[in-house]
Amino acid sequence: MHILSAGYSDIMVGYSKHDHDAHELLYVVSGEIAVRIGDEEYVGRPGSLLIFSRFEEHSVRVLTKEYRRYTLLISPDISRGAENYLLSSVLINRFRGFRHVIDCRMLDSEIEQVMKMMADEYSRREPMYERLLDSMLMRLLIIIYRISPELFLTDENRNTEIVRDIQSRFEREFAEHYTLSSLASEYHVSSSHLAHAFKEITGYSPIEYLISCRLSAAKTLLAKSNKSIKEIIDLCGFSDESNFSRMFHSRVGCTPSNFRRQNYSKSLDK
């Protein structure tokens, strides 16, 4: 099942900077919010759909006295395979000109209906609910595509196939050792061609994407396991503790040990 959670809330609360090892869709039913993703700030209004990839830290600030929304958390493995990749590309790829907020007012009643059905289905968990939720997710992505097709990767070609395959490998086998030249040789393209195509399609260089996969896995292990930092370094493919700590602090803003102290008890509560 690709849906990790689906729910509705009217609780008046914002969220400090955070991320999930999951893609997120947030649909604003009423109220206004300010959302910060990296250095950019967006405003979400009724009928706005906000999109966060698993690698994007974001914060939410409520601007009004009412704030009602639906939220979906979607598994990273939705992007594996050509069939889902084109529709799920809006969740994972951040090419130049990508927008994190989509104005869905033209189809707001349809989107709200699908979101409500997904939240209800997830809550009840009746027989075959996993398959039904996955089919509803595909329906939702098709609706979003009809509103903003420019945010999807619809040009299926050799570059797309190569990048999709490498993304899938990085997500599954992030601890392996890769070099740009060896990947380029394997796919029979030049290193410069591969680097350009990967950046153009995903918004990340190959090494940035690989490091993001490694850090995402490391954060999950720090928050949800008792494994030592040395074990996590080995499992996630970092070369040594100094390299891991420096990279973790640069991307996350704190040391691995501090991150564990701040998040381990929270994950147990959930």
Same domain as 68, residue 105:
yes
Give the structural domain span for 218. 155-270
Same domain as 116, residue 80:
yes
Strand partners, 72: 6, 25
CATH of the domain at 233: 1.10.10.60
Same domain as 116, residue 44:
yes
The mean per-residue pLDDT over the stretch 61-70 comes to 96
pLDDT given for residue 21 in this prediction = 87
Same domain as 137, residue 92:
yes
pLDDT given for residue 265 in this prediction = 58
Among 95, 127, 151, give the residue marking a domain's end.
Answer: 151
Same domain as 177, residue 147:
no
The mean per-residue pLDDT over the stretch 61-82 comes to 90
Same domain as 18, residue 51:
yes
Return the minimum-mean-pLDDT range out of 142-146, 155-159, 167-171, 219-223: 155-159
pLDDT given for residue 173 in this prediction = 95
Same domain as 108, residue 160:
no
The mean per-residue pLDDT over the stretch 82-101 comes to 89
Same domain as 144, residue 60:
yes
Q: Do β-strands 48-52 and 23-30 pair in parallel, antiparallel, or remain unpaired?
A: antiparallel
Same domain as 261, residue 178:
yes
Same domain as 162, residue 105:
no
Confidence tier at 263 by pLDDT (50, 70, 90): confident
The model's pTM: 0.90
Is residue 267 scored above 70 in pLDDT?
Answer: no
Among 88, 119, 151, give the residue marking a domain's end.
Answer: 151
CA gap 152, 99 in Å, rounded: 11
Taken in order 167, 20, 76, 7, the sign of the CA dihedral is negative
Confidence tier at 66 by pLDDT (50, 70, 90): very high
CATH of the domain at 62: 2.60.120.280
Q: Do β-strands 33-37 and 68-74 pair in parallel, antiparallel, or remain unpaired?
A: unpaired
Strand partners, 25: 51, 72
Taken in order 236, 241, 246, 250, the sign of the CA dihedral is positive
What are the pLDDT digits (tens) for 147-205?
999 999 877 789 999 999 999 999 999 999 999 999 999 999 999 999 999 999 999 99
Among 129, 151, 173, give the residue marking a domain's end.
Answer: 151
The mean per-residue pLDDT over the stretch 118-134 comes to 96
Is residue 269 scored above 50 in pLDDT?
Answer: no
- Mean pLDDT over the full length of the chain: 92
pLDDT given for residue 82 in this prediction = 64
pLDDT given for residue 58 in this prediction = 93
Q: Give the count of domains, the chain.
A: 2
Same domain as 137, residue 252:
no
Q: Show the CA angle centred on residue 98, arms to residues 94 and 100, nearest 5°.
A: 95
Same domain as 253, residue 126:
no
Confidence tier at 38 by pLDDT (50, 70, 90): confident
